[in-house]
A and B are shown apart, each in its own frame.
Chain A
Amino acid sequence: MRVLRGIAIGAGAALAAVAVVVAMVEVAGRSSYADVALPDIAAATTPAAVERGAYLVNAVAHCPARHLPQPGATQFDPQRRPNLVGGHRWELAFGTVYSPNITSSVTAGIGAWSDGEIARVLRTGVRRDGSLSAFMVAGVGHLADNDIAAIIAYLRSQPAVNVAVPASRSNFLGRVVAAFFARPRLDESELATAPPTAATPERGGYLAHGPANCVGCHSPSGLRSAFRPAAPELAGGVPVPDVTDPAMEIVAPNLTPDPTTGVIYSWPEDVFVQRFRGGRVVAGSPMP
């Protein structure tokens, strides 16, 4: 009798502990970061800035690779500057994720967002409603204020496409990740102006950490780094799914100048440039 009573008490305690953890996840997994300050950045107004925004969005940051439905997302032509209607779907261990419509539609896109709200999601990953986009935390680099202003101007110049995208759905595991691992990017130093366009290491370092976000895929990242690139930076990434073949995965190579394992160590500058002119090497790769 005493043994049964002990078992019952133990089971009850275990159930209570599980209930507490589930409650913590359900509450913390829906955290709001609405109190994260809106950056004091307004959309640029000059045609040159809008054009620079178009270049950054399409040719440098490759936003269409995420903000278009498949298969267009992996076949987009940066020169055509497609409307970023969203709808790219990922079936992940922590839920089903759809990329949002980021055209100027007031009902389905970001037409109702303020400049500050767009700047905030670009800089920190915090959406207009205060929720956090882990994809924006991981997928967008550290942008200078003037580049954010140019990107906002270009996004606002896109025609409104009033097609709503299904809401993303996170499962319990997704809420565990949101509760205990995902965090907004709040620690980046302010950078008012991007280095001027020139073939300098300074400009290259900005691009690699900012609009091109080379570090995002070519560095280790995971739960403990809150999905942000960790050391050793640019020494190779972690496996990501091949979106065209579930049996395959893709790993971003080591870009450091290591003579034996650095993939571009032996590449002259012109070979590196031509690599990007040749288009996608692997159909299901995020690398253009």
Chain B
Amino acid sequence: MSDTDLAAIWRYLRTIDPIRNEVGPTHRPVGRTVGSFPAP
């Protein structure tokens, strides 16, 4: 992706509401459930 488009995404992400949600380690053994929100 171009630097311009990546910068656009970064700037958009700065505009959204902060949500507290600790997902835990992003690469982890199967079944180690972490996170505040259950799957819908």
Write the residues of chain A forming the contact surface with B, with a CB cutoff of 8 angstroms. Answer: 55, 59-60, 197-205, 207-208, 212, 214, 220-225, 230-239, 241-242, 246-262, 264-265, 267, 269, 272-273, 276, 282, 285
Contact = CB atoms under 8 A, between A and B. Distances in A.
8 contacts: A201-B15, A204-B10, A231-B40, A232-B21, A248-B29, A248-B30, A257-B16, A261-B19
A232 B19 contact: yes
Contact of A201 (B12, B19, B20): B12
Nearest to B13: A255
Q: Which among A60, A261, A267 has the greatest number of chain B C-beta atoms within 10 A?
A: A261
A221 B40 contact: yes
Chain B interface mostly = loop
Interface of B: 1-32, 34-35, 37-40
Complex A-B, nearest 8 residue pairs according to Cβ-Cβ distance, in ascending order:
A204-B12, A204-B8, A222-B39, A235-B19, A199-B7, A258-B18, A236-B23, A203-B8
A1 B16 CA distance: 69
Contact of A261 (B7, B13, B20): B20
Query: Could you tell me the dominant secondary structure of chain A's interface residues?
Result: loop
B28 A249 contact: yes
Nearest to B12: A204
B37 A235 contact: yes
Contacts of B24: 251
A285 B27 contact: yes
A258 B35 contact: no
B29 A247 contact: yes
Given A220-B37, A225-B40, A258 B21 contact: yes
